Structure formats: structure tokens, C-alpha cells
């Protein structure tokens, strides 16, 4: 144990003292902030207002299209043929043709453009025409416009969880965002720090430093010390990012004249659309809910409904469990190969479950208690990501305990497997490694 601690200490201190670690720790929050800032700026500045000509043979849609920052509608009084010949010369980007029989045959609408029409423009036109056709049909049925307007009601339901402790407010917005964000962070950190282990092992092997080190320690001790040391580096960097982010929010709030709480709320609300585990429909629902009561009030009210101590503790456990599981396999790859090129054939099978877990997460967030959610949160190779998606929604204690036990058994098994490969591969040079060869190393005695 003392030997493992010495190796762990060396790996940790060597990495945290590097200029690259210090620079990325300081620049990390700044780069993330700048990244979202650039995306927001690009999204706003890249919107060019489209001039759209509407040739309406029915005369029912005159003025029914609403002008906004994306679309400017005009209604030229000319035939379709004349409009098709002149709409580009007149400065229009899009030409919409609404025939006389559109009420009976709505699929006869045509949209013309010099180039292809963007999906947003097409959807806006289709929605506007659909709404107006519905209104016309209702009016013909004797339903007045006032009745139609009174019938439009926006329902904003409050979600409440029933448990043994009684009723407790919950929020689908907060659970989806927090679950998705935690899953993505674990996914990224497992890849980053797992690859660091692989490259560290490969570097020591190619430099022949390993021959000196292995004369004093056992291969298993060396591998375990390296894995745990890099894990502590990752946790250190993650905690420093949290501290620096809070500091940046505090400074930013002072400059903007807002409280840190309000600044954090705005930051969270602006990232709803960046969580890949949330469907397009879910994002629209989140944005409607936040717009209804103000982003700040809704986000903080939603966060207050979550069990943050449980989420944070589970995040740390699943990060460490997932990291230990995958980094052992990455370390075994680094010991087996001699250069970066040879790693590709072995990395893909290892990365496939990580990539698959992110794909599964998009379905799990829709049904966090379904069969897919249950089984993928039990399998050690996918549970670090999937269980973090489920935890904010509420997971039965026995499922959480079973998932944790299976993950512990999983990384113990992968560390044992990796150690069997590591002890042989770390001193082997110049040989083309295959899966058949790796399977032989696992069963070597000694």
C-alpha cells in the first residue's frame, strides 16, 4: 500500500505542477464562458431578416403573417407566373403561393426560393397557414373569433412528488437539465482522464523508463497508483473549476449590478438548449415554463426541489467508478502498444459503451423508470452516465445500491483484467498486438 501511495503521490504532483494543468484550470471556466458567449452572439448576429412575398389567391391571408426579426412579409398584387419571374429582382428571398382551394387542399401551398428554403422559414409559413385555416373553418362552423381566443389557454402545471415523507415539489425542467449536464460531464471527464492514463503509460514504455521503475515495484502497484493519481488530478481540477466559476459569477454580478444568484440563474437558463439528452419538444417546454415566470424565479425554484447533496455525492461516486473502470482498460491499451497509431483498433471497443450511453440517455430522460433506463443503469459500462440522468428524477434506494455494487465489482474486474495485460505488455516491444495475443496474456501464469 505504501508503494502505491508513493506512485500515486508522484503522478499527482507531477501533473498538477505542470504549466498546462495550471493554465487549463484557470482558463477552463473562462473558455467555457467565452464558448457560450460566442455561440449566443453568433446565434443573434447570424439572423438575417428574410423578405417573403405572399401571393394569396384566396385573399384570406392578407396581413395574417406576423413580421418579426426573422421574417418580413409583403403581399404583391400579381399572378404567380409574374411573381416567380420578378420576386428575386424585387429583393424578395422567398415566394409563398397560396392557391384558391387551400382550405380544402392545404397541401397545395408552394414555397419558391432562388436557393433552398431554410427549415425555419418553411415551418413558420406552414404554422401560420395552418392556424389561419383552422380559424376559417371554425368561423364557418359558427364559432366566433372571440370564442377561439378565449379557448386558447396556457396550462402551467405544478409537479409534486409523493413519497413516504409526504408531498414534495418537483421540477421536470431542473431534473432534465441537471441530469443531462451531470451525464455529459462524466462522459467528457472519463474520456479526458482515461486517455491521460493511456498516454502516460505509453510514454513511459516508449522511453524505457518503465524498465527502471518495474525493477522496484510490481506492475499492478504501478498501474493502480497511476490510475488513482490521475483520478485525484481530475477531482482537483473539477473542484477548482467550481470555485473559479463561482468567483467569476460573483465578479460578473458585481459588474452587471445583479446578485450572484441572479447571474447563476441566467447562466443556467441559457444552457437549456445545450443539453443533448433533452429532446426538442422538451427544450420548447422548458423555455415556455421559464418564460412564463421569468428564468430566474423558475430556475431557482426548480433547483430548490432537487436533493443536491445526493446528486453531488452520486456524481463523485459515479465519476470515480466510471473513471477507474475505463482508465484501467485505457492503461492496458497503453501497456500493450508501442505508438498512438496502434491504439485506434483497441480504443473503439472501449469507447463504444461510453458513446452508446450518451445515445441511450436521450431516451432515458423521457422514461427514467423504463426497462431501458433500468438495465443501462445497472450495467457497469453505461451506469455512470445513465444513473446520473436518472438520479434527479428519483431512483429507488435498492436500484441505486445495486448499481453502485455492480459498478464496484465492474471496476475491480476490469482492474484485474487490465493488470494481467499490463504486466506482460509493459515490457514487450516491437510486436504487433492482436486481440488473440491479449487473450493469451490474461491467462499467463506468474
Domain identity same for 58 and 27: no
pLDDT of residue 363: 87
Cell 510486436 locates to 431
In-domain check, residue 39: no
Interval 40-61: pLDDT, tens = 666 666 567 778 888 888 887 7
Residue 446 in this model has a pLDDT that exceeds 80: no
Interval 79-129: pLDDT, tens = 888 888 888 778 888 888 888 888 888 888 888 887 777 777 788 888 888
Q: How far apart are CA 212 and CA 94, in angstroms?
A: 72
Q: Which domain holds residue 97?
A: 51-145
Percent of the chain with pLDDT over 70: 76
Strands 50-56 and 94-98: parallel
Pick the last residue of a domain from 93, 126, 145.
145
pLDDT of residue 171: 58
Q: How far apart are CA 203 and CA 335, in angstroms?
A: 10
CB atoms within 10 A of CB 423: 19
pLDDT of residue 404: 93
Q: Domain count for the chain, please give it.
A: 2
CATH number of the domain residue 135 falls in: 3.40.190.10
Q: What is the pTM of this model?
A: 0.63
Q: How far apart are CA 11 and CA 392, in angstroms?
A: 34
Pick the last residue of a domain from 89, 110, 145.
145
CB atoms within 10 A of CB 68: 11
Contacts of 445 (CB under 8 A, 6+ apart): none
Domain identity same for 352 and 396: yes
Percent of the chain with pLDDT over 90: 4
How much is the mean pLDDT over the chain? 75
Contact 174, 285 (CB under 8 A): no
In-domain check, residue 176: yes
CB atoms within 10 A of CB 443: 7
Contact 192, 24 (CB under 8 A): no
Q: How far apart are CA 281 and CA 227, in angstroms?
A: 41
pLDDT of residue 268: 47
Amino acid at each position: 500500500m505504501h508503494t502505491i501511495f508513493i506512485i500515486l503521490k508522484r503522478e499527482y504532483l507531477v501533473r498538477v505542477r505542470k504549466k498546462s494543468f495550471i493554465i487549463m484550470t484557470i482558463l477552463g471556466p473562462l473558455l467555457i464562458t467565452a464558448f457560450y458567449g460566442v455561440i449566443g452572439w453568433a446565434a443573434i448576429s447570424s439572423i438575417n431578416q428574410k423578405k417573403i412575398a405572399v401571393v394569396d389567391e384566396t385573399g384570406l391571408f392578407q396581413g395574417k403573417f406576423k413580421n418579426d426579426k426573422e421574417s418580413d412579409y409583403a403581399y404583391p398584387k400579381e399572378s404567380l407566373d409574374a411573381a416567380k419571374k420578378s420576386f428575386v429582382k424585387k429583393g424578395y428571398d422567398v415566394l409563398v403561393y397560396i392557391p384558391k382551394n387551400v382550405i380544402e387542399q392545404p397541401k397545395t401551398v408552394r414555397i419558391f426560393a432562388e436557393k433552398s428554403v431554410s427549415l425555419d422559414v418553411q415551418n413558420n409559413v406552414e404554422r401560420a397557414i395552418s392556424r389561419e385555416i383552422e380559424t376559417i373553418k371554425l368561423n364557418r362552423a359558427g364559432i366566433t373569433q372571440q370564442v377561439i381566443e378565449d379557448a386558447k389557454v396556457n396550462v402551467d402545471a405544478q409537479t409534486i412528488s409523493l413519497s413516504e415523507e409526504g408531498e414534495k415539489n418537483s421540477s421536470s425542467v431542473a431534473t432534465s437539465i441537471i441530469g443531462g449536464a451531470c451525464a455529459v460531464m462524466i462522459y467528457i471527464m472519463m474520456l479526458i482522464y482515461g486517455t491521460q492514463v493511456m498516454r502516460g503509460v505509453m510514454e513511459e514504455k516508449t522511453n524505457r523508463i518503465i524498465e527502471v521503475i518495474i525493477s522496484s515495484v510490481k506492475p499492478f502497484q504501478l498501474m493502480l497508483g497511476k490510475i488513482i493519481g490521475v483520478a485525484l488530478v481530475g477531482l482537483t481540477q473539477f473542484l477548482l473549476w467550481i470555485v473559479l466559476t463561482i468567483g467569476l459569477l460573483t465578479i460578473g454580478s458585481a459588474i452587471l449590478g445583479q446578485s450572484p444568484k441572479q447571474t447563476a440563474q441566467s447562466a443556467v437558463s441559457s444552457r437549456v438548449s445545450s443539453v443533448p439528452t433533452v429532446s426538442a419538444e422538451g427544450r420548447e417546454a422548458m423555455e415556455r415554463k421559464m418564460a412564463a415566470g421569468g428564468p430566474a424565479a423558475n430556475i431557482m425554484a426548480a433547483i430548490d426541489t432537487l436533493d443536491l447533496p445526493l446528486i453531488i455525492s452520486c456524481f463523485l461516486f459515479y465519476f470515480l467508478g466510471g473513471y477507474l473502470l475505463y482508465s484501467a482498460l485505457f492503461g492496458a491499451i497503453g501497456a500493450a502498444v508501442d505508438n498512438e497509431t496502434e491504439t485506434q483498433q483497441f480504443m473503439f471497443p472501449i469507447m463504444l459503451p461510453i458513446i452508446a450511453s450518451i445515445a441511450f440517455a436521450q431516451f432515458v430522460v423521457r422514461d427514467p423508470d423504463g426497462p431501458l433506463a433500468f438495465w443501462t443503469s445497472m450495467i457497469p459500462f453505461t451506469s455512470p452516465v445513465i444513473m446520473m440522468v436518472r438520479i434527479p428524477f428519483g431512483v429507488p434506494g435498492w436500484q441505486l445500491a445495486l448499481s453502485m455494487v455492480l459498478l464496484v465489482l465492474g471496476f475491480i474486474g476490469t482492474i484485474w483484467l487490465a493488470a494481467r495485460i499490463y504486466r506482460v505488455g509493459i515490457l514487450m516491444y516491437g510486436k504487433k498486438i492482436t486481440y488473440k495475443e491479449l487473450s493469451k496474456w490474461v491467462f499467463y501464469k506468474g
